Amino acid sequence: PVRMMVEHCAKRGVEVLTLFAFSSENWQRPRDEISALMTLFIEALNREVAELDANGIRLRFIGQLDALGPKLNAAIEAAEARTRNNDRMDLVLAVAYGGRWDLVEAARTLARDVESGALAAEDVDESRFGAALATASLPPVDLLIRSGGERRISNFLLWDLAYSELYFSDVLWPDFTAAELDAGIDFYIGRERRFGRTGEQVEIKSC
C-alpha cells in the first residue's frame, strides 16, 4: 500500500505525505527482528528511489537517523540527494521517530542555547520551539489517517497535530486502498477548520 499511497496522494495534489515507518518505541523489539527490518528498509529504499525520482517525488527523512547505522544512513543520504530537486510532492519518512523524543530534543536544544547565552529564556516562544523540532521544515499536518481500527495517535508528530483533522479507519494497513484514502481525504474536505475561531468568524474570513 505504500506505493499506492504515494502515487494516489501525488495524483490528488497532496504536497507533503508523511509516513510513520519505524517508531522510537520499535527499538524495544528483538534485536534480530530490528536487524531484519533495517535490511528490508535498505532494500526497499534502493529499489524504489529510481521510480520516486522519475515521478518527481522528493524523499526526506526525520527521526534519530544517527541510530540507524552507516549502511542505512548511506542509503538515506543517497536517496535524499538524488531526489533533492523534485517538487511534485514531498514524501517524508519518519524513521526511529517519536513525538516525545522530538519534543525533548527541541527542549534540550533551546536549554543549551539559553545556558550558553545565545538565547534569553523569555525569548523562547512557540515559534522558536517549533523551529527546534525535527519537523521544523514541514508544514503543519492537515490530516492524520490512522488505519487498523486503532483510535490513538501513538506518539506521532505530537506538536504538528495540534489542529489536524483525525480520520480513523477500521481497514488494516495491508488492505488499505485508494478508495479508503479518498474517504479520508473527503472527510477532511468536509470539515470546517476553525483554529479556535467560531464558525461565524471562519465564514467572515472566507468571504
Could you give the CA distance from residue 160 to residue 36 in angstroms, rounded to a whole number? 30
Q: Which residues contact 30 (CB under 8 A, 6 or more apart)?
A: none
pLDDT of residue 194: 62
Residue 32 in grid coordinates? 534480530
DSSP assignment, residue 139? Answer: P
Q: Are 1 and 176 in contact, with CB atoms under 8 Å apart?
A: yes
pLDDT of 202 > 80? The answer is no
Split at pLDDT 50, 70, 90, the class of 192 is confident
pLDDT of 127 > 50? The answer is yes
Query: In the CATH hierarchy, which fold is given to the domain comprising 2-97+138-206?
Result: Undecaprenyl pyrophosphate synthetase (3.40.1180)
pLDDT of residue 207: 46
What's the rounded mean pLDDT across residues 176-191? 96
Q: Are 10 and 57 in contact, with CB atoms under 8 Å apart?
A: yes
pLDDT of 206 > 70? The answer is no
What's the rounded mean pLDDT across residues 122-151? 97
What's the rounded mean pLDDT across residues 102-114? 98
Note if the pTM is more than 0.75: yes
Per-domain residue ranges of the chain: 2-97+138-206, 98-137
Cα 15 versus chain centre, distance: 12
Q: Which of 51-55, 128-132, 171-175, 203-207 has the lowest mean pLDDT?
A: 203-207
pLDDT of residue 198: 54
DSSP string, 15-27: SEEEEEEEEGGGG
Could you give the CA distance from residue 109 to residue 162 in angstroms, rounded to a whole number? 22
What's the rounded mean pLDDT across residues 17-33? 93
Q: Are strands 143-146 and 89-97 parallel, antiparallel or unpaired?
A: unpaired
pLDDT of residue 145: 98
pLDDT of 94 > 70? The answer is yes
pLDDT of 56 > 90? The answer is yes
Q: Which residues contact 7 (CB under 8 A, 6 or more apart)?
A: 55
Query: Is 118 exposed, middle or buried (CB count within 10 Å of its CB: 0-12, 13-18, 19+)?
Result: exposed
What's the rounded mean pLDDT across residues 30-40? 92
